[in-house]
Structure 1
Amino acid sequence: MMMRKGLRLRSITMVMLMAVLVWSVTLETCIARRGRHWRHNHRSSSDLSDSLSSKKPKSHGNSHHNSHNNNNNHHQKSKPKPKPKQKTPPKADDNNSPVISPPPKVQPPSLPPLKGSQVFNVMNFGAKGDGKCDDTKAFEAAWAAACKVEASMMTVPPEYTFLVGPISFSGPYCQANIVFQLDGTIIAPTDSKSWGKGLMWWLEFTKLKGIKVQGKGVIDGRGSGWWQQDYPFIDGETKLIVPLNNSVHQNPPMPERSELDWKMPSIKPTALRFYGSIGVEVSGITIQNSPQCHLKFDNCIDVEVHDMSVSSPGCSNVFVHNVNCGPGHGISIGSLGKDSTKACVSNITVRDVAMHNTMTGVRIKTWQGGVGSVKGILFSNIQLNEVQLPIVIDQFYCDHSKCKNQTSAVAVEGVTYERIKGTYTVKPVHFACSDNFPCVDVQLSAIELKPVQEKYHMSDPFCWQTFGELNTPTLPPIDCLQIGKPARNRVQSDHDVC
């Protein structure tokens, strides 16, 4: 009995002990859960603080704070997963408005050259246009801007006079099809300092594609400072013009003197020159008083000149028309072959030209000793008024008192003269061709030239070693032309042929 009682008491004790154990485990679990829940709320508050502080850039202080939180987490039974790194947002401005992050920089693709009719006026680049201030830099700046834009236009406005020194409007890195719109007046400097020891040109366009010079403006070379130094100018045809009294003026009238007294350089510049360019067009403008040539093309292809005026004389595939020329030396091809050089000229058309009071009309001139050829030349619809020597081919050109006789020459072949009419004062036709390289295939039609007696001896047409054909009767009759081809024509060596 006592044993059963003891066993019952022991059982009750064990049950109570077990209950206490179970209760303590439950209590610990509840406390642990409550602790985790409290810690979660605490961390939420900390997270809010972290969120607010995260608007500031990362600093060593934030790193220390994170380290402190990590130390606290060692007391927990389970280590929480680390939060992913967040990018630091940009700072807010003073008005607490959010700042939008700029998009990432992307390298733009290379664009084709700009097209259109963008206009670059020299006045907008500092030009004064008063004829006194030097506007050279303004012209250079305007060209530099126009050069970058395809089909752009550089304008020289009307009613202004621009003093511009020697300048080159150059490529080859300029865009194509630029228009130089000249409606004002450009004048050259007249002081020797601006020219140094002398230059070959004044205004030059070089290595361009599709360049147009157009407008109603004037290019004035103001060349009297050069002219008065070596006046009168010696030309190869001067010897053909003999005064009626058989004497030359001992004291010829001098041109108007330059405003400056010192001597200009011996090298005289050409007023407007084009070099190494393709697709050149010149129209409308006037070129006057150039120290040397007025208009010159070197190594150019596809050239067109029309509706322009020059006050005195100024390639392949050159077309010149609608030119009003004079006084001066007329329109000349050459002189070619100087100092035994090679010249290759072909496909030249000069038509619809009016000349008045010029020394020559349409002329081809070459030096003795040169090589190469001139061929495919057309002079058409030329109106002459008191021109001394209207039609000239001279293969013995010499601008000195005496030149050395040489056998080689620049060959002249395929020259056509048609509808050349007007008056002359010395000789209507002068054909002086080489003995070894006669002029061949010279065609004449509708030639009507009437004499006007002035102050010079007058002569009949002259021909030497000139072969061709008269397609119509001429006035006066050009009986000296030899019909057909020469019995022999010296063949040039391979290196002489164009």
Structure 2
Amino acid sequence: MGFEILLSVLLIASYHLQYGNGRMILTMKDFISDSNSTNVDHSQAFQNAWRALCGGKGKGRAASFVIHAHETYTIQPQLLQGPCISPNIQIQIDGTIEAPKMAKDWGTSECWLCFEKVTGLVLTGSGVLNTHGENWWSSVGFSSRPEAVRFFDCHNILYNGLTQINSPRNHISMFDCTNATLSNLHLNAPENSPNTDGIDISHSQNIQVLSSTIKTGDDCVAIKGASYDINITYVTCGPGHGISIGSLGQGGASEEVQNVNVRHCTFSGTQNGARIKTWPGGRGFVKNILYEDITLINANFPIIIDQQYHQSSQATAVKVSDVTFKSFKGTSADATAIKLDCDPTTGCDNIVMDHINIVSSSPRTPLTSYCKFAHVISRVVSIHIDCDFRNEDSQPASSHPQPSAPYAISSTPHTQPPAPTTQPPLFFPFYTNFNAFL
């Protein structure tokens, strides 16, 4: 499945080899006071286990906390706070952890598993996190619903293998984090579940999302302000609202997102595909974005830039530039396969369409594009694009144009982009030195 996945597997294997006999292995039963485990709420036991991990109970040895297969525990919202004495924390969940089924039993927490100021965390396993969001969606407003898993001010994180079911709100949120890999995850919620984003990334850098399946009622992945160097690879999205940059600029905010790669991903039955969305009146920029090798299966709006998200007459807009859509193939469920709705004053600059082959999922239905105020460079595109800004078109396949590389920066609008800048690494330095975690 590619170099990124192989290296992720090697990293996980390295942990097992290095920690297998040298670690103190803790289990939930080490912290349960009643020998018959009759207590239906294991919140205190889980919190005690975290304190032992974070506080370095291993007495010179690193400790791991394991929930074995076929074990099921119910816990209330947990604040899992660092910094920790141990430079690396390992939690393996092969069983099931459930949140309280009724919203009234959650208290006032904004998240269920809330990791804060933790460095060197490995959260892995084949188990299930079930947050019973179905009991929130119709009874509690979006702004008052908690997230399932939150990483706040966390660094050097590996989150691998788990399945999350029915979050009240976002399944995973990352805020103010650096150097994190989320891999082999399965995030599941019904298509009609409101605001159940798969992964939200905000104020974070050097984040990777790898080899995961996300089926939710909102964005599969949303990348928000102050985020850069984001790689999303081999993700299957659908149902959901696509893999989105934004929304950005709400309430006149100044927000920036740059250096984002979305590669080898599939959109199946999604409301949108590759999407950038900004609010009128916002400020800042979105630039150096690549969507490449994208498979579409009956997806609505496969390619969309929307600078009129929640339309208004505001005078400013978040600047969108240097965006490449490359090697798209498959079917669109909507007649408008490409929608570029840009701000009439700010516009969208250097939007590259390179080898786009999209057909309608309905026989004999022609596909169209909608384009306003975008500077588009079109190369071998199956759908005609006509914008209010001047387009550059090297359409014939026989010309064999050089593909636009990620992070090509145009110094002036309406010109062919210069040579690309250096692409950020697929894996970041702490992954190439396993001792950084040890």
Q: Same fold (TM over 0.5)?
A: yes
Report the more deviating stretch, 381-390 or 155-164.
155-164
1:404 to 291, 312, 317: 312
What secondary structure sits across from 1:461 in the alignment? Answer: strand
Compute the displacement of 1:459 (Å).
5.7
Name the counterpart of 1:339: 251
Residue number in structure 2 paired with 1:137: 44
Q: Which residue in 2 is equivalent to 1:226?
A: 136
Deviations 1:315-374 (A, max 9, x none): 222222232322122222221121122212222222222232221112121111222222
Secondary structure, counterpart of 2:97 in structure 1: strand
The structure 2 residue matched to 1:428, chosen from 318, 334, 337, is 337
Q: Distance in 2 between matches of 1:137 and 1:425?
A: 49
1:119 aligns with 2:25: yes
- Indicate the residue corresponding to 1:286 in structure 2: 163
Which residues in structure 2 correspond to 1:277-426 (within 5 Å)? 277-302=154-179, 303-312=207-216, 313-314=219-220, 315-398=227-310, 404-426=312-334
Partner of 2:188: none
1:127–1:135 Cα contact (<8 Å) kept: no
Amino acid corresponding to residue 258 of structure 2 in structure 1: S
Structure 1 residue 473, shift from structure 2 partner: 0.7
What amino acid is the match of 2:210?
Answer: H
1:204 corresponds to which of 111, 114, 138: 114
Distance 1:458 1:208 in 2: 52
Structure 1 position 448, deviation (Å): 2.1
Q: Is the 8 A contact 1:288 1:311 kept in 2?
A: no
Contact between 1:448 and 1:474, CA under 8 Å: does it hold in 2?
yes
Cα RMSD after superposing both structures? 3.2
| Conserved? CA contact 2:349–2:414, under 8 Å | no
Question: In 1, Cα distance between the equivalents of 2:300 and 2:147?
Answer: 25
* Equivalent residue number for residue 73 of structure 1: none
Please give the secondary structure, in 2, of the residue aligned with 1:228: coil
Q: 1:289 & 1:141 partners in 2: Cα distance?
A: 26
Read off the aligned partner of 2:338 and give its amino acid letter.
V
Aligned pair partner of 1:172 in 46, 62, 83 = 83
Distance in 2, Cα, partners of 1:357 & 1:264: 26
CA distance in 2, matches of 1:189, 1:268: 14
Equivalent residues of 2:212, 2:236 under 8 A apart: yes
1:217 is displaced (CA, Å) by 2.3
**Residue deviations 1:88-114, cap 9 Å, x none?**
xxxxxxxxxxxxxxxxxxxxxxxxxxx
The residue type paired with residue 167 of structure 1 is Q
Deviations 1:62-92 (A, max 9, x none): xxxxxxxxxxxxxxxxxxxxxxxxxxxxxxx
Match in the other structure for 1:272: 149
Contact 2:367 2:383 in 1 (8 A): no
Counterpart-to-counterpart distance in 2, 1:131 and 1:365: 50
Q: CA deviation at 1:406?
A: 0.8
Counterpart selection for 1:475 from 353, 369, 382 = 382
Cα pair 2:360 2:367 within 8 Å, conserved: no
Asked if structure 2 preserves the Cα contact closer than 8 Å seen for 1:389 and 1:430, the reply is yes
Are positions 1:462 and 2:370 aligned together? yes
Deviation at 1:425, TM superposition (A): 0.6
Residue 215 (1) aligns with residue 125 (2): yes
Structure 1 residues 266 and 408, CA gap change in structure 2 (3 angstroms)? closer
CA distance in 1, matches of 2:123, 2:360: 38
The DSSP-based 3-state class of the residue aligned with 2:52 is helix
- Structure with more helix by fraction: 1
8 A contact 1:425–1:458 mirrored in 2: no
What are the Cα deviations for residues 207-256 of structure 1, in whole angstroms up to 9, with x where unaligned?
A: 22233333322333322223334xxxxxxxxxxxxxxxxxxxxxxxxxxx
Whole-Å separation in 1 of the counterparts to 2:252 and 2:142: 26
SS of equivalent residue, structure 2 residue 368: coil
Give the structure with higher Rg (CA): 1
Distance 1:213 1:422 in 2: 35
1:269 partner letter: P
**Partner Cα distance (1:381, 1:304) in 2:** 17
CA–CA separation in structure 2 for the residues paired with 1:352 and 1:291: 29
> Could you say which residue in structure 1 is the equivalent of 2:182?
none
Letter in 1 for 2:116: T
User: Is contact 1:286–1:308 with CA below 8 Å preserved after alignment?
Assistant: no
**One-letter amino acid of the structure 2 residue matched with residue 272 of structure 1:** V
In the aligned structure 1, how far is the partner of 2:38 from the partner of 2:341? 46
Query: Which amino acid in the other structure matches residue 119 of structure 2?
Result: K
Q: Distance in 2 between matches of 1:273 and 1:183?
A: 20
d(CA) in 2 for partners of 1:421, 1:151 = 48
Structure 2 unaligned blocks of 5 or more:
1-20, 180-206, 221-226, 393-411, 416-438
Q: Taking structure 1 as reference, are residues 130 and 301 closer, same or farther at Cα in structure 2, changes over 3 Å only?
A: same
| Contact 1:132/1:163 (8 A) holds in 2 | no
Question: Relative to structure 1, is the Cα distance of residues 442 and 117 closer, same or farther in structure 2, using a 3 angstrom cutoff?
Answer: farther
Identity rate of aligned residues, in percent? Answer: 32
Higher strand share: 2
Contact 2:375 2:414 in 1 (8 A): no
Q: Is the 8 A contact 2:142 2:169 kept in 1?
A: no
**Which residue number in structure 2 is paired with residue 450 of structure 1?**
359
For the 8 Å contact 2:359–2:367, the answer to whether it is kept is: no
One-letter amino acid matched to 1:287 = Q
